[in-house]
Amino acid sequence: MRFSEYMNEWLYGEQGYYASYRPIGKKGDFYTAVSTSKFFGGSIAKHILSRIDEGFLRTDSLICEIGAHHGYLLADIIEFFHTLRPELLKTLRFGIVERFSALRKAQQDYFDESFGNTVTLEHYSDLQEVHEQCTFFIANEIFDAFACELFYKGKIGSVRNHRIVFEEESPEIAALAQRYNQDRGEIAIGYESFASVMNQTSERFEFMSFDYGELDARSDFSIRVYQNHQVYPLFDESLDLAESFGGSDITYDVNFTHVREAFEQAGITCAQYATQLVALIEMGILDLLAMLKEHTSDEIYQQELEKVKILITPSLMGERFKMIRFVKE
């Protein structure tokens, strides 16, 4: 089978990595911005409020996370709404797009435990089910989880008995590789269809996503497997693909130019591309920390400050991760 089919089965098959709830953070395979600090979600909440104040988002908009895992990010956003503008909890709606029933249950249980009857969580098993007038979509580390083809000097990767070989040709993938100046590396599959579907969801929307990668594609392989906070390049001889299949996360660096062009092809405007450092500071993460300092002990403030430093320090997550934001008006 083609590598994209293999990766799709690895992540989304019946026994795939994302088919059941798996912990993230110290007990999981890797960290995310969400598992690092609640102020990540708080900054997004503050941005949403600014878009409401500007008149782009309505006070009855749907705030919708795509691929929410446990639901922590959306819950963090809601918590900061409660702190900053509690009256909006009566008018805004909250939803998650999640294909797996086990994860939908985990998310619902978490929201019931966190908010009781205060917040109603709407679930969609597919993005195509969303039909709204005004929506704010948020996703964290979604584009690196799209299946990809592996390209090497004119050939694409196939998998036989968990071994990768480069024998098949694909004019379509070769054209994309040429477009992005790659003689080897990952070519994502599905960005175009994802953007096209999102374009049909709402009369007006903003979509914000955080991921790791660059604006230009690397002409090299970045694809890797995460196991217990250890990183293994896919072609590492010590990595047993049969053993890792479905039980560990597999990911690669995002080509943000490909993402941007896919959305622009669908008629959606790219409003911003920035490092996570720049994005979070512009959205007001330091302002939120200043508010915390006024209302809590110095010990708690220092604890949260250290977590936020991980998000914005250039040598940690600040420059490695990027934010890209799209709007349909």
For residue range 124-154, list pLDDT tens digits in order: 999 999 999 999 999 999 999 999 999 999 9
The reply to whether 237 and 286 lie within a common domain is: no
36 pLDDT band (50/70/90 cuts)? confident
pLDDT at 219 over 90: no
For residue range 221-259, list pLDDT tens digits in order: 999 999 877 899 999 999 999 999 999 999 999 999 999
Region of 41 (left: φ > 0; alpha: ψ -120 to 50; beta: rest) is: alpha
The reply to whether 167 and 314 lie within a common domain is: no
- Provide the pLDDT for residue 25: 46
The reply to whether 317 and 184 lie within a common domain is: no
**In degrees to the nearest 10, what's the CA dihedral of 123, 128, 131, 137?**
70
Structural domains of the chain, count: 2
* Average pLDDT of the residues in 16-42: 71
- Provide the pLDDT for residue 30: 42
Asked if residue 238 lies in contact with residue 8, where contact means CB atoms within 8 angstroms, the answer is: no
Task: Please give the DSSP secondary-structure letter assigned to residue 141.
Answer: S
The reply to whether 202 and 286 lie within a common domain is: yes
The reply to whether 131 and 7 lie within a common domain is: no
- Provide the pLDDT for residue 95: 98
21 pLDDT band (50/70/90 cuts)? low
For residue range 181-190, list pLDDT tens digits in order: 999 999 999 9
Quote the longest CA-to-CA distance of the chain.
63
The reply to whether 87 and 234 lie within a common domain is: no
Length of the chain: 329
CATH, residue 119: 3.40.50.12710
For residue range 77-98, list pLDDT tens digits in order: 999 999 999 999 999 999 999 9
- Check residues 15 and 280 and name the one with the higher pLDDT: 280
pLDDT at 209 over 60: yes
* CA nearest to 223, candidates 233, 214, 215: 233
Asked if residue 180 lies in contact with residue 258, where contact means CB atoms within 8 angstroms, the answer is: yes
First to last CA, the chain: 41
For residue range 199-208, list pLDDT tens digits in order: 999 999 999 9
For residue 210, give its domain range: 31-143+193-214+254-329
15 pLDDT band (50/70/90 cuts)? confident
The reply to whether 202 and 326 lie within a common domain is: yes
The reply to whether 60 and 127 lie within a common domain is: yes
